[in-house]
Amino acid sequence: MVRCFVGIFLPDSLKSKVLELQYFLKSLDIDCKLVEPENLHITLSFLGELDTAGIETTKQNLDEICSNFREFTISISGIKFIPNKNYVRVIALDITDASEMFPRILNELKQNISGDAKPPHLTLCRVRKMGKKDALSKLQNVDSYCGEFRVSSIQLIESQLGGSGPAYSVLHESKFL
């Protein structure tokens, strides 16, 4: 059994700005675990444990879904508090899709692959404990625009949990038209 999710890795061209935001997070009164630079990604659907047959079926379904969509551009900007700013477990960046392709793709993923599809976001850190309230206001006022990039594919990603955190590897890549 393999722990899997469907996602999009962040291109190297945008990582420096995301790393600046993570560095800023470390200066605040927040006890958190930052996402490692090599693991920065946008999760589209968490699938859980899949066997070999489930992986093969998922690959085929992803290829079929992607064959119905063209490449599109997304923008990364805006701090999100998950589940909300009164109880923060994750600090993330919001994803904006002017073409509104993500809702359609997520709908296809829910119908054809299942899993736990969430609104797209880029996790900066997992919060163990929030400090003073001013950390939230500082985060809400920080320039969080990281840029935009063209989404040409989505990946089926394996997540292996280890003592120092997860290690991700791409099992399959499905390209858009």
Give the tens place of pLDDT for each residue, 26-83: 889 899 999 999 999 998 999 999 999 999 999 999 999 999 999 999 999 999 999 9
Residue 11 has pLDDT above 80, yes or no: yes
Question: What's the confidence (pLDDT) of residue 36?
Answer: 93
Q: Which pLDDT does position 168 carry in this prediction?
A: 94
For position 167, which CATH number holds?
3.90.1140.10
Mean pLDDT of 104-112: 90
Which residues span the domain enclosing 60? 2-175
Q: In the structure encoding, which two tokens stand for residue 166, read together?
A: 């997860």
Confidence of residue 173 (pLDDT cuts 50, 70, 90): very high
| H or E element, residue 18 | helix 12-26
| Number of domains present in the structure of the chain | 1
Burial 115-128 (b: 16+ CB within 10 A, else e): bebeebbbbbbbbe
Q: What is the mean pLDDT of residues 131-152?
A: 87
